[in-house]
Amino acid sequence: MRLENKIAVITGAGSGMGKEEAVRFAKEGAIVVATDIDYEAVKSVEEQIKANGGKALALKHDVSSKEDWEQVFTKTIDAFTNLDILVNNAGISLPKPFMEQTEQDWAKAYQINVNSVMFGMQLAVPYMEKNNGGSIVNISSISALIGMAGAGAYTASKGAVRSISKAAAVDFGKKNIRVNSVHPGYIVTPMSAASMEDPKYKEYFLSQVALPNLGNAEEVANAVLFLASDEASHITGIELPVDGGVTAK
């Protein structure tokens, strides 16, 4: 198995890509600490993993709270001793025209999409260092790579995720801690389904993708799994689009 006995914390694991990553990682032998602001959702992911013979622990976690992060790692180490993998997946989209965005929108995007990644990495690194290394995968977006209309605070927050991932890759490389970012494109999940499956907009999204279909959560989870695993042992500081060729155009 590709992640045998690795201890992996995955945020936003109650829905969409995070849920798919949790289930996939567990199938590959990882012990998954699945966290989400929605405890009921993540508890059902824990139950699904256990029903399939895997190991998981669900924790309620608001990623914008440093105190919550401290508790997540304390509980992870108490239960499983080590930390090998962190996937900073939880995030929100803020679909609002740039000129209508408020200071509050900007602050919210940063608190949930960026502070989360900073807290998670700051608190994970000492545990990974004790463990002689680890792998961190931060979920950004293609909006950090190309200009996307109307993305405003979201695009800025995902751009920050891209650049702090590279900086952390340089800072922690000698400790054998790898840090990479994944950049999903048009992926149908509960976050995006209302617009991406709406016949009014679907043709537009499809026209942006080079491949025949929009993406799904499993396709992103496959990329995250690779970067999290030892198969990517010489890969750090990269930005991996999972976008069906949107950014190739």
Query: Which residues lie near ligand NAP (CB under 6 A)?
Result: 11-12, 14-18, 36-38, 41, 61-64, 89-93, 112, 139, 141, 184, 186-187, 189-192
How many C-alpha atoms does 58 have within 13 Å on its Cβ side? Answer: 22
By beta-carbon proximity to ligand NAP, the closer residue of 68 and 171 is 68
- Angstrom distances, CA of residue 159 to CA of 11, 156, 164, 183, 196: 19, 5, 9, 10, 22
By beta-carbon proximity to ligand NAP, the closer residue of 176 and 216 is 216
Query: What token pair was written down for 171?
Result: 């800072």
CA–CA dist 74, 79 (Å, integer): 9
By beta-carbon proximity to ligand NAP, the closer residue of 173 and 245 is 245
Burial class (CB within 10 angstroms; exposed 0-12, middle 13-18, buried 19+) of 72: buried
The reply to whether 154 belongs to the active site is yes
By beta-carbon proximity to ligand NAP, the closer residue of 200 and 234 is 200
Nearest to 214 by CA among 195, 186, 194, 246: 186
Contact in structure between 139 and 89 (CB atoms under 8 Å): yes
Minimum distance, C-beta of residue 113 to ligand NAP, in the bound complex (Å)? 6
Minimum distance, C-beta of residue 131 to ligand NAP, in the bound complex (Å)? 24
Backbone angles phi, psi at 184, to 5 degrees: -65, 150
Catalytic residue among 154, 186, 201, 204: 154
Minimum distance, C-beta of residue 97 to ligand NAP, in the bound complex (Å)? 18
By beta-carbon proximity to ligand NAP, the closer residue of 28 and 68 is 68
CA–CA dist 62, 67 (Å, integer): 9
Minimum distance, C-beta of residue 91 to ligand NAP, in the bound complex (Å)? 2
Minimum distance, C-beta of residue 64 to ligand NAP, in the bound complex (Å)? 5
| Active-site annotation, residues | 154
